Amino acid sequence: MILDRLDRAERYFPLHPGFAEAFARLRGLDLATMSEGRHPLDGDRLWAIVNHTAGKGMDAVILESHRKFIDIQYIDAGVDRMGWRALADCTDVSVPYNEERDIVFFHGRPAAWFDVQPGQFAVFFPDDVHAPLAGSGPLRRAIIKVAVA
């Protein structure tokens, strides 16, 4: 898991061959004018989900993880609280893995909580179980999905 500001994203480019393009595309998005939903960026290997939503609170969020995609969760407006837990520590599945949606849900609570401010992003790899939208108040965010392979 990574938490940093968008203006420092270059330091993470060596971690994955798709990160340079993913962050370049993220910087080119105007989230204030984009419609909510899925936006293709490079076929099935790189796409964005735009949300204009509100946080659900820490008690309402559910731990999730992905196998095929890395999440880059960027906050454009508002503050999102997110939770994290290592996949190795999540053994109680609440909703089995859905291959089409690339998501599995777990019972339990995050081991750590952190706030993601406007202009910041969090990167969640497949072994990072996460619980986004745990804050309160309105949010404008994008999730950039980067294919693992």
Query: Which pLDDT score is estimated for 16?
Result: 98
pLDDT per residue as tens digits for the range 13-42: 999 999 999 999 999 999 999 999 999 999
Query: Which pLDDT score is estimated for 124?
Result: 98
Q: Rounded distance, CA 48 to CA 29, Å? A: 9
Q: What residues make up the domain containing 53?
A: 2-147
Looking up residue 71, the CATH number of its domain turns out to be 2.60.120.370
The reported pTM is: 0.96
β-pair partners for 86 = 128
Q: Rounded distance, CA 4 to CA 92, Å? A: 30
The 3-state DSSP class for residue 126 equals coil
Query: Which pLDDT score is estimated for 48?
Result: 98
Q: Rounded distance, CA 84 to CA 34, Å? A: 28
Query: Which pLDDT score is estimated for 12?
Result: 98
**How far is the CA of 124 from the CAs of 84, 92, 138, in angstroms?**
9, 20, 22
Q: What letter does residue 14 receive in the DSSP assignment?
A: G
Query: Which pLDDT score is estimated for 60?
Result: 96
Residues of the chain with pLDDT under 70: none
Which tokens sit at 35?
A: 């419609």
Give how many domains the chain has, as a whole number. 1
Q: Rounded distance, CA 21 to CA 58, Å? A: 32
pLDDT per residue as tens digits for the range 47-58: 999 999 999 999
Which tokens sit at 122?
A: 């969090």
